Amino acid sequence: MCLIYKTMRTMLILVTALSFTMCCYAETKEQRIYPRILQERSTAGKLVLMLNKMITLNLEKSTVLVDNLLFVTSTQDQQKVETVDTSDLQRSIYHDTHYQSSVMVRQEGGNVEVEGIVNHNLRIRPLLEGERSLQGQIPHALFEVPVTENFSEVDEELLRPRERSNLNISNGNWTNYPQSRSSGLQRFPVEVHIVSDKAHQEHFKDNTKLISYLAVMMNAVNLRYLDTTNPKIDFLLVGVTRVADHEFARIEGRFIDAGEMISGLELYKSQGRILGHHDVVYLITGYDITKWLARGKRYNGIRGRAKLGTVCTHRGLGEGEDRPHGYLGVNTFAHELGHTLGAVHDHTPECPWKEGYLMSYEDGGLKKFRLSPCSERSIRQYVRSLSDDCFRVLNAQNYLRNQRKFPGETIRKKYYCRKKLGNTKEAKQVFVEKADGCFLQCCIKNPSSTWCGQYKMLDGMKCDPGKTCRRGVCAKH
């Protein structure tokens, strides 16, 4: 297991200190701009997007979402499961390798809306209520996220043997890995399920905005792995769980304990509350991650945590901070996923800590956006030890098709009508009449009159002989 700390201390063990530069919101100047598309190549999926006189992005289409994304809204009482058609989002997400940009670009009626990451400290968002240009262009805010560095010391912690998974580490190198048939694999699509906790998800008004935000984050993470080969590592967002009221660990003010939180995530998963197929689960928190110390003290410099070499296992877990709408958790996200893929921290003569690659906490400039040769080699060695089943994308099919029953198969129509009508005193006089297609007539009979309301059938309800309703269609499914 690896902790990310906001410190600068070289360690040969996995629970360590971090000096990733932490971005945080403060009073910043915003530049109002009017982005415009200079060139579009639809067949190649490329855009040339001018933000201002200084910044022009050469955008390429990104692949970061599965076609049918599993979305779960989780409360203490229930889990609402749905699949989201991501085709519209997939058409809108782009990246620029030069600036390390990850943005959503939407075009409608000749106007363009851009939202996301421009570079390491510039963000862009549309100002939909702002005054448009003379040409009718939508104004945007181009704003800088200030970087503050926070260096402090923290006591070292020994890596407990049970946290070593099944890895063999010798002088920072991977050894004695059995070679599987996957050793010739060209691409490894890692399926990621993101859990947005109570303090994170509350900043998003609707599910689509949350999915869009997480897709931009995932896209930015992929840019850090752009140079990986044999196999090429790509991360696919396959599922999102929006946790409305569950706490993964004790909360004190805005702080949450790192160790307790990942244990809470492991318990949450073991209870079957993270659905669908995935290779790794990543918990994004809106709280400040901390470590409780003796005598009521705490160390507030922790940024994230992950279990080493656990992709495609039930212990494939990671966690990290993020400040919603600022994409501040991207580096932590990418770093922690590196650990789950078997990469340790850079600390060898070949890849020293001070070089500042992704798996170091030093800021190496452009190196911070890529893996060191040692990290690439470690990941390659670990991935080659995985079974071939791990490399299959299991989310190509709609998850709900694999559920044994749909809601309409477990609820009688009369009971459904009673619930729809609000369990009134007159509910005993409720009766059901068939309407056209996948609709029901729920009726209340009074002594002097009868009142009926039309309601959509639940998925799985019988609509005609031998037919059921599925997504509003009465057919043999």
Please write the tens of the pLDDT for every residue from 93-133: 999 999 999 999 998 877 899 999 999 889 999 998 888 88
Provide DSSP, 152-193: ------PPPGGGGTT--EETTEE--PPP-GGGG-SEEEEEEE
- pLDDT on residue 405: 61
DSSP letter, residue 91: T
The first and second tokens of residue 415, run together, are: 């009971």
| 247 carries an active-site annotation | no
DSSP letter, residue 150: -
The reply, when asked if residue 314 is annotated as ligand binding, is: no
229 band by pLDDT with thresholds 50, 70 and 90: very high
Q: What is the mean pLDDT of residues 344-366?
A: 91
Domain 404-475, CATH class in plain words: alpha beta
Bigger pLDDT: 27 or 309?
309
Give whole-number Cα distances, 74 to 2, 105, 273, in Å. 27, 30, 8
- pLDDT on residue 270: 93
DSSP letter, residue 356: -
Residue 402 and residue 396 in contact, taking contact as beta carbons nearer than 8 Å:
no
Mean of pLDDT over the chain: 81
Statement: residue 26 has pLDDT above 60:
no
- Superfamily covering domain 1-402: Collagenase (Catalytic Domain) (3.40.390.10)
The first and second tokens of residue 421, run together, are: 């009508």
422 band by pLDDT with thresholds 50, 70 and 90: low
Q: What is the mean pLDDT of residues 374-399?
A: 81
Q: What is the mean pLDDT of residues 209-226?
A: 95
Provide DSSP, 250-312: -EETTEEEHHHHHHHHHHHHHTT-S-S--SEEEEEESSEEEEE-GGG-EE--EEEEE-TT-TT
Residue ranges per structural domain of the chain: 1-402, 404-475
- pLDDT on residue 452: 85
pTM higher than 0.75 = no
- pLDDT on residue 183: 53
Question: In sequence order, what E strands does 268-422 have?
Answer: 280-285, 288-292, 298-299, 302-306, 317-321
- pLDDT on residue 55: 93
- pLDDT on residue 427: 54
The reply, when asked if residue 339 is annotated as ligand binding, is: yes
Statement: residue 285 has pLDDT above 80:
yes
Check 115, 191, 336, 362 and give the catalytic one: 336
- C-alpha 411/C-alpha 329 separation (Å) is 43
79 φ/ψ angles, rounded to the nearest 5 degrees:
-125, 115
Lowest mean pLDDT among 43-57, 160-174, 392-406: 160-174
406 band by pLDDT with thresholds 50, 70 and 90: low
- CATH topology of 1-402 equal to that of 404-475? no
Q: Identify which of 400, 331, 386, 416 has the alpha carbon closest to the alpha carbon of residue 80.
A: 400
Q: What is the mean pLDDT of residues 213-236?
A: 94
Q: What is the mean pLDDT of residues 442-448?
A: 83
